[in-house]
Amino acid sequence: MKNKKVIVTGGAGFIGTNLVEKLVNDNEVLVIDNLHTGSNQNLKEFESENLKVVNDDAKSITKMDFDADVVFHLGFYSASPMYRSNPMLVSEVVAGMTAVLEYARERQAPVVFSSTSSIYNGVKPPHREDIIPEVTDLYTEGRIASERLGLLYQKLHGVNVAAMRFFSVYGYHEKAKDGYANLATQFLWAMKRDEAPVIYGDGEQRRDFIFAGDVADALIKASDVKGFEIFNVGYGKNYSLNELVEKLNRMLGKDIKPKYIPMPVKNYVMETLADTTKMRTKLGFTPKVSLDEGLQLINKYYR
């Protein structure tokens, strides 16, 4: 993508920063971020005349004097525990999505937004985009509502919308997320300090890990999508948390045993595994970074 005016809500957050890094050299980028789990420090190394940062909620997008060619809406509250502690976040998600779609309607700008693989909770893997979701938790309901709003605005107003169902994303720029960071990154941080990673249950739950740089590339690719589409954004292979710990031990030259604790969460997602057929064929995108390669990259990054 080149020579575009781009808005990234949540652009000072983890995935948003990875996206801005790929956009800012060749495009004019406006970041809108309320810093709930983001940090302006994430964007310091990308400061340039191409980048403007507004610390506000995604709902403020309709007040921006900025005619974007593309909107990447990543400014969602991004973890189930946030919704368990504050159920009203569901209404915030719907309000933010509606504001983004209203902005896009007025300018006929495409919208690419972050949905979630948690929609597949309770559904047998591999997970395909055409499943009917179960009713499981507040976090998921906010994203399902956002997907339906995207489809509605496409039908009523012709807005092109791509819903990107992220699987287990890890990578650079996660520090500001702290306890909400991906398990691969949290386990790495702990084990580098010679601390035991904490695992719910027996560690046989499985995750489809995908590197944030690959996710950013998929988001950019999706900005050309016509109509309304849903895409899985995963690697297409999964690993148990026990296997993850084994990989980290081998890489770090350590032998740290996890600390297993009783499962504290009702409706916990036991397995994620993306069917990547639609991403590869219709979106024309294949992830490049395997989990082993990605762990090496973040080990070097988080010195």
Give the ranges where 60-196 is alpha helix by DSSP (H).
80-85, 89-107, 138-157, 183-192
147 found inside a domain: yes
pLDDT at residue 266, as a whole number: 80
Q: Judge whether 182 lies within some domain.
A: no
- Residue 177, in any domain of the structure: no
Per-residue confidence (pLDDT) for residue 81, from 0 to 100: 87
pTM metric for this prediction: 0.96
Specify the pLDDT at position 141.
Answer: 96
For 101, the 3-state DSSP assignment is: helix
Residues near 61 by beta carbon (within 8 Å), at least 6 away in sequence: 7, 9, 32, 71, 99, 100, 103
Domain ranges, residue 124: 5-170+210-236+273-288
From the number of C-beta atoms within 10 Å of its C-beta (0-12, 13-18, 19+), residue 153 rates as buried
Dmax (CA) of the chain: 57
> Does the residue 299 lie in any domain?
no
Helices (H), 49-137: 80-85, 89-107
- Whether the ω angle into residue 110 lies within 30 degrees of 0, i.e. cis, is no
Mean pLDDT by 10 residues, the chain (303 residues): 97 97 98 94 94 97 97 93 93 97 98 97 96 93 98 98 98 93 97 97 97 98 98 98 98 98 88 98 98 98 94
First-residue to last-residue Cα distance in the chain = 31
Q: Is residue 255 part of a domain?
A: no
Q: Which helix (H) or strand (E) holds 216?
A: helix 212-222
Considering its fold, how many domains does the chain have in total?
1
Residue 133 lies in a domain: yes
**Considering the domain boundaries, does residue 79 fall inside one?**
yes
Q: Would you state the structure tokens that stand for residue 25, as one six-digit string?
A: 């050299």
Helix (H, G, I), strand (E, B) or coil at 59: helix
CATH of the domain at 56: 3.40.50.720
